Every structure is written in C-alpha cells, then in structure tokens.
Amino acid sequence: MGSKKVKSAWDKLRMSEKECQAMTEYLSFLSKGKTERESWQIIEGWARKAGFVSLDEVKLFGSGQKVCLEVRDKAGILAIGGLRPLSEGFRLIVTHIDAPRLDLKQRPLYEEEGLAFFKTHYYGGIKKYQWTALPLALHGIVILRDGQRVEIVIGEEEEEPIFTICDLLPHLAKDQNNKKLREAISGEGLNLLLGHNPSTGESEEERVKSSILILLKETYGIEEDDFVSAELEVVPAGKARYAGLDRSFIAGYGQDDRICSFAAWKALEKIKEPEWTTIVVFADKEEIGSDSNTGMKARFLENFIAELITLQNGSYDGLMVRRAMARAKALSADVTGGYDPNYAEVMDKLNSAYLGRGLVISKYTGSGGKYETSDANPEFVAEVRRILDDAKITWQTAELGKVDQGGGGTIAQYMAIYGMEVLDCGVGILSMHSPWEISSVADLVMMMRGYHAFLGYRG
C-alpha cells in the first residue's frame, strides 16, 4: 500500500491479434444478443462451428468430445470431455445470459386519448427512471395458438422505428422532483409509446388501438390474444461501442452477464484435450432469482452430467453423478459493481473492484451478515489464486459495496448445493444494471485469459 505502484491490467497487456479481434466480436455479440434467446442462439452458432454436437446425437463421451445441450431455447451447456473420467469431477464456469429489462405484459395493448401504448412489467433490478426518454427496441417471440412461432426484432436497423417511454417535462415536474428517486417513475408508468394514427382503424372507438392491431396482423400475423403466449422484451436500442477518449471502455446493454458469457466461450474455444472435462453453462433467469426451468435452480446441469456419465459408463449410475457434481471445481462467472469515485460513499476502498485492475474474485457475495451467498472455502480460493498467478493474470479481490449498504447474490449458491467448490469470479462494471453498462477492455482480456487458465489447468 502507500507508495506501492497500483497494478494495472493495462501495463504489459500486449493484446494478441486474436484478442483484438475478440473485442470486435464482443461488440457484435452485445449488439445482436439482447435477450437470453438471441444470446444463446449466437453462442450455439459459435459452438456448432467449433464442432460441438448436440447431446442426443452423441453416442460416446470421451476425451476431446464436444457436446452441446440447449435448454428450452433460452439457456445451454457446452462441454469438452476430459482425459479423466467424469466421476472424478470436472471444471465448470457458470454464467447467465438474461439481463434486466422490461417485459411486455400478457395483455399489453391499450389506447388513451388517442395514444396507443404497450404496458410492461420490469424484469430484474432496474432503476425505473433510467428507462424513460431513451431509444428502445422490442425483441422476442410470439407463439401462436397452433404452436407457430413468430420472431420479432424492431428498433435496431436504421430504417426501423424505435420505441420510447416518455418522461415528464421539467416545467411541470415540481411534484415529481420532490418524490424519492425510486417513486418518481412507477412500475405501472413504464408504458411504451406505440402510435397515434387512427386513420386505418376499423372500430368506432379506440381507433388507434384498432390501427395498431391491423398493423400487427398484416406485418407479423399476430392478434391481440397472441400476446398471452409471447415473450417480448423491451431493451435499449442501438449498438454497443467503445467509450472514452482513449477507447478503453466498452459501453453496451446487458454486459451483466454477457461479458462473462463471452469470456467463458472464448476460454472454452481454446481448450484442447483437457485433463478434466470442462463445462460452461449459460443460464437464464439469474436476474430474478434463478427460478423457472431455465434458471440454475432447475436441474438441467445435474441431468446433463447424468447423461454424460451414462454415455461414459454405458449405464446410469446415480452415485457417479453425485460424485462428479461434488468433486467439480467451479467459477460462478458474474460481474460486480466497479468502484466509481462519484459514488465513493457506498464502497469500501480496500475491498472494491476497480476497472482496469483485472479479473475480480469475490470469496462471497450476498448481503447483510453474508446472507444468500456461497462463502468460498479458502483452500479453493488459494487454488484459484495459484492458477491465476501462474498464468500471469492481473486480478483483484472485491466485495459488492460497504457492509449493510445493500448487496446482491449470484448463482454460486445453487452450485454449492451439490458440494462442488465454487468461487465468484468476473469483472467490475460501471453503471451496472443500467441501459448502458460500462466495462474495461483490459479486464475483459484478463477474464478471457483467466477463465482459460482455470478450465485448462492440469493437476
């Protein structure tokens, strides 16, 4: 401390050509993968190209075999067989590909005083005021009653319209300005502006709504009732890009946790004939507590391991599955709040994640007296330290904010249930959970290298 020069991941970073290329790929991944479905589709595309084969097409699971499992189109698992039998354990990185956003309600459409809107229900931890007066896009799917699937993306291409949620003009915001920040914009107030042209409407009343319904039918073949079986997500419109005069930041929506998903994929892509079977999970529903059958509280990872063990042994052996799970070593790959000098009062300087100082490990997350977390065992923390140091990774340790300032959990606790060793490991993000999150290029490079070192570590 004191006079000691602060370690920066930028010093001696020396990005390889492939790593520079990866930054461009990352920007494109963020720009195109704005929902869990879109993100998984992109990841699965990469995996297929790299030789991963769907689990139901695999006959044997041995060393070097690449297997892919899709979970309900919204999550997935990629695995590469190790030299050792799976029952001895495996190396695992778990990330999530869902992000805070606004979902359309199942009956979203209404008209009031000649303006048509979509009602929304926010998903995950958002600050509601951040979602007004900015360009928004609509991404998602509608499943018609007969099962037919309609995919929708509106607001990303230049020629497409965007959407917005209107804020109140400052001239009339006297009462609003006196409200608490979290009450100034209400959940029911997050309504998406859709249109105001009544001229094609067929009904006497609510002609704008009628016009919108005709437009939806003509363009997408969907009717008002079809929203009942739809998952339509309102996300910030536009592309991710570099930020800052020195281009040292990446700005984009959904970096929590797609930055870790991307880094984990990049790490896995480079793995060849690993000693331990290496697995990366891309989970859904983390932002709302990991429930649902695509979240980490569901058993798809366990079932996947059971399938692989069965392929490896020729028959199902429940004990081997349990052993494999309990002997696994895992990173819960998620982002954490980066230290922001503008909000210094909520951070403990000694235990904060600083942008540009590399990969972040967090022994525990949670809140209050370490509630709702997996507190990693020091033996495993030491092992990860060794792996990172041996691979010359710049890393730091952090917890999320000051004690009793708030907090938040990750997926780690749902992996710990199986007995596996698990440590939270990601990068710091500024403006986390906002429509425009900020990450560090150097940290992302360190994360790709660090995850690779962890997955490929022998011994």
x/- track of binding to Mn ion for residues 200-239 (CB under 5 A): ----------------------------------------
Between 9 and 296, CB nearer to Mn ion: 296
**What distance lies between CA 80 and its chain's CA centroid?**
22
Q: Under the criterion CB under 5 A, does residue 257 sit at the interface with Mn ion?
A: yes
| Nearest-approach distance from CB 159 to Mn ion, in angstroms | 33
Cis before 257 (ω within 30): yes
x/- track of binding to Mn ion for residues 128-167 (CB under 5 A): ----------------------------------------
| Nearest-approach distance from CB 287 to Mn ion, in angstroms | 5
| Nearest-approach distance from CB 65 to Mn ion, in angstroms | 30
Q: Which of 206, 334, 421, 437 binds Mn ion (CB under 5 A)?
A: 334
| Nearest-approach distance from CB 228 to Mn ion, in angstroms | 28
| Nearest-approach distance from CB 13 to Mn ion, in angstroms | 25
Residue 94 tokens read as: 């778990």
Of 184-192, 212-220, 242-250, 254-262: span binding Mn ion (CB under 5 A): 254-262
Rounded CA separation 441/26 (Å): 10
Give residue for tokens 């967090």.
362
For 174, which DSSP code?
H
Between 200 and 434, CB nearer to Mn ion: 434
Give residue for tokens 């199902």.
316
| Nearest-approach distance from CB 434 to Mn ion, in angstroms | 11
- Shortest Cβ contact with Mn ion: which residue? 257
User: 120 with 110: CB under 8 angstroms?
Assistant: no
Of 168-176, 248-256, 339-347, 381-389: span binding Mn ion (CB under 5 A): 248-256
User: Which amino acid does the sequence have at 104?
Assistant: L
Give residues with Cβ within 8 angstroms of 362, minimum separation 6. Answer: 336, 397, 398, 399, 400, 423, 424, 425
Give residue for tokens 């938040």.
408
What is the pairing mode between strands 336-337 and 277-283?
A: unpaired
Total number of residues binding Mn ion (CB under 5 A)? 3
Rounded CA separation 419/50 (Å): 31
| Nearest-approach distance from CB 36 to Mn ion, in angstroms | 12
Between 34 and 209, CB nearer to Mn ion: 34
The backbone region for 131, taken as left when phi is positive above 0, alpha when psi lies in -120 to 50, beta otherwise, is: alpha
At 154 the three-state DSSP class reads strand
Of 37-45, 164-172, 329-337, 373-381: span binding Mn ion (CB under 5 A): 329-337
Rounded CA separation 235/131 (Å): 9
x/- track of binding to Mn ion for residues 404-433 (CB under 5 A): ------------------------------
| Nearest-approach distance from CB 334 to Mn ion, in angstroms | 4
Between 22 and 412, CB nearer to Mn ion: 412
User: 15 with 445: CB under 8 angstroms?
Assistant: yes
Rounded CA separation 4/155 (Å): 49
Q: Which residues bind Mn ion (CB under 5 A)?
A: 256-257, 334
